[in-house]
Amino acid sequence: MATTNTVTVTLQQLAKTIDHSLLHPTMTDSDILEGLKISREYKVATACVKPYAIPLAKKELQGSGVLVCPVIGFPAGNSTTEVKVFEATAAVRAGGEEIDMVINVGKALGGDWEYVANEIRQINEAVVREGAILKVIFENDYLEDKHIIKLCEICSDIGVAFVKTSTGYGFVKQANGQYSYKGATIPHLKLMRKHTKPQVQIKAAGGVRTLDGLLHVISLGVTRIGATATAAILKEAVARGITDEPTTVQFTPIGGEGAGGY
């Protein structure tokens, strides 16, 4: 007998699961303004922006209930801990309310967990001290399961608000010279939920571009996604009868491996 995949959600819940991503390096101020308009119109959780765009986002989103979410150490995570702490502190003081930071991937791959943990702890303390919360980006495409599990344990011990799969830009060079990217995958999301304490939330970024994808990851315990397809996802939700009342909706599971990108 075929398994029926269903989840009960509201339209507002779906909107507040989305960080609308405005991070592509080619985005102009006009592009960012258009993205902020979408963020405001659909009342998403946050608009995820590059640090220089914080004042613009703060101005455009004022009174909307949509938070400003800057990224730091983005997308490679290679700045020194001191620079990341400074950047995170400055981002919150400028108006950031949630901060998405990228770990030092090379240190994680090399097993220097003391460095990795110390950096996350310092940034988390700086962000929380200023009244914001921290999401820690692993960049799973570069990592093995053992690294992801260890990062989940570290982030759980520190008590960060979220762990996050990817930046959306962690392309891996293949043997043929081409670059590919998976982003948030179902196996990795299950792994992260299993090895992270319940109070630490999961953000899926990269590859969740449809309503079915969003419903599927919600069913796994994901509470936030990064997306550029916000309008399409929420328009489809309305078309499928999801309202502000709890609605049970069937979804088609997405594949085990994501397609990458936002």
Annotated active-site positions, please?
Answer: 100, 164, 203
Looking at residue 110, its amino acid is G
Give just the sign of the alpha carbon dihedral 153, 157, 163, 167. negative
Nearest of 168, 171, 165 to residue 186 by alpha carbon: 165
Q: What is the DSSP string of 125-157?
A: HHHHHTT-EEEEE--GGG--HHHHHHHHHHHHH
Asked if residue 182 lies in contact with residue 204, where contact means CB atoms within 8 angstroms, the answer is no
Lookup: tokens for 178: 């081409």
How many residues belong to the chain?
262
Quote the CA–CA distance of 31 and 27 in Å, as a whole number.
6
Instruction: Give the C-alpha separation, 242 to 189, whole Å.
Output: 25
Paired strand residues for 137: 102, 164
